[in-house]
A = this chain, B = another copy of it.
């Protein structure tokens, strides 16, 4: 039974989901929904593109909607999930950690009312890293899990921090790379479960293109003192030309690791590490979302309804393989 998928939203993630769908052996793209159908139709000429207001009259009824909107604007405030749950199951990558409990409640209510399944927060953090935290702390009783980002020398691109720099007066364009602090990782690996502040674990590297006439020192000060975003961290600011930025810093790479360390007996250290490295962060996220789209369909076909996070789903439900094949080849 093939899974009919509708992609909602055509930003970085939406485009990556459309690409990722071509690699899935059991899924078909039946519609792309967007608020800009004319523009998107020109970009994606061969695909079934429809306007958001056409969602209830699609020619093929979808099984699962992959929600690719932003967490705040589209998913939470825009009710993208609640609207799509009227039609089919949903999967999203809602990633505002502090609001996950509330979002889960809202989606659970709608999903139960409509008899569908909503799988929420399925990217890599939250998502695969949430799984690593829960498994790690369950296997190593009493151990804390730590997540580090930008563990490879190239660092990981943070879209949110790049956007924050771009809002500053005097800034034409910017890219922010997050780097893990290797000393903090080694400290965690000792197994002493240290108390680490955000600024102990990461430092931030900014490549900034100035507007003509802007004062570099003023911009630097504005960046490094920005509360929450940069103030708690060691931050390195480099000024480059737009040409250099586009040539050397245009990658969407990101990566990270969840480290859980404990002692199984006095002096016996145990380490569990889970690592994701993406040349393309949106494409990595898309692959994860599509595995959970399969799970949403599976959960629905077993007459479930309501909200599920990655923590609530048997791993086998994510796989395109049969139970027999998993027992024989994957155990």
Residues of A within 8 A of B (CB): 16, 19-20, 23-25, 97, 100-101, 104, 121, 126, 128, 130-131, 133-135, 137-142, 264-265, 267-280, 283-284, 286-288, 290-291, 294, 309-316, 318-320, 324, 326-328, 330-331
| Contact A135 B324, CB 8 Å, known A265-B283, A279-B270 | no
15 sample A-B contacts, Cβ–Cβ < 8 Å, listed by A number: A23-B142, A121-B331, A128-B135, A134-B318, A134-B330, A138-B294, A138-B319, A138-B320, A139-B287, A139-B318, A141-B320, A264-B284, A268-B280, A313-B315, A315-B315
Bound together, the chains give a CA A16 to CA B265 distance in angstroms of 9
Bound together, the chains give a CA A265 to CA B17 distance in angstroms of 11
List, in ascending order, chain B residues with CB within 8 A of A268's CB. 278-280, 283
Q: Report the minimum CB–CB distance from A213 to chain B (whole Å).
A: 38
Are B279 and A267 within 8 A (Cβ)? Answer: yes
| Contact A272 B265, CB 8 Å, known A139-B288, A330-B134 | no
Q: Report the minimum CB–CB distance from A290 to chain B (whole Å).
A: 7
The copy count of this chain in the complex is 2
With A100-B327, A264-B280, A274-B275 given, name 11 new contacts (CB 8 A).
A16-B264, A131-B135, A134-B330, A135-B318, A138-B294, A139-B288, A264-B284, A270-B276, A272-B275, A273-B277, A311-B326
Bound together, the chains give a CA A324 to CA B284 distance in angstroms of 28
- Say which residue of B97, B326, B328 sits within 8 Å of A331 (CB atoms): B97
- Say which residue of B270, B274, B327 sits within 8 Å of A309 (CB atoms): B327
Q: Report the minimum CB–CB distance from A145 to chain B (whole Å).
A: 8
List, in ascending order, chain B residues with CB within 8 A of A314's CB. 311-314
Are B319 and A264 within 8 A (Cβ)? Answer: no
Q: Report the minimum CB–CB distance from A313 to chain B (whole Å).
A: 6
Bound together, the chains give a CA A16 to CA B141 distance in angstroms of 13
List, in ascending order, chain B residues with CB within 8 A of A278's CB. 264, 268, 270-271
Bound together, the chains give a CA A130 to CA B271 distance in angstroms of 18
Q: Report the minimum CB–CB distance from A254 to chain B (whole Å).
A: 11
List, in ascending order, chain B residues with CB within 8 A of A121's CB. 331
Bound together, the chains give a CA A313 to CA B283 distance in angstroms of 27
| Contact A277 B270, CB 8 Å, known A23-B142, A100-B327, A311-B314 | yes
- Say which residue of B20, B275, B312, B315 sits within 8 Å of A311 (CB atoms): B315
Q: Report the minimum CB–CB distance from A328 to chain B (whole Å).
A: 6
Q: Report the minimum CB–CB distance from A243 to chain B (whole Å).
A: 22
List, in ascending order, chain B residues with CB within 8 A of A138's CB. 291, 294, 315, 318-320
Bound together, the chains give a CA A24 to CA B326 distance in angstroms of 30
- Which residue of B is nearest A98, CB measured? B328
Are A271 and B280 within 8 A (Cβ)? Answer: no
- Say which residue of B131, B265, B287 sits within 8 Å of A315 (CB atoms): B131
- Say which residue of B140, B267, B294 sits within 8 Å of A287 (CB atoms): B140
Are A271 and B264 within 8 A (Cβ)? Answer: no
Are A101 and B327 within 8 A (Cβ)? Answer: yes
A24, A141, A271: most-surrounded residue (chain B CB, <10 A): A141
| Contact A315 B141, CB 8 Å, known A270-B283, A272-B276, A331-B97 | no
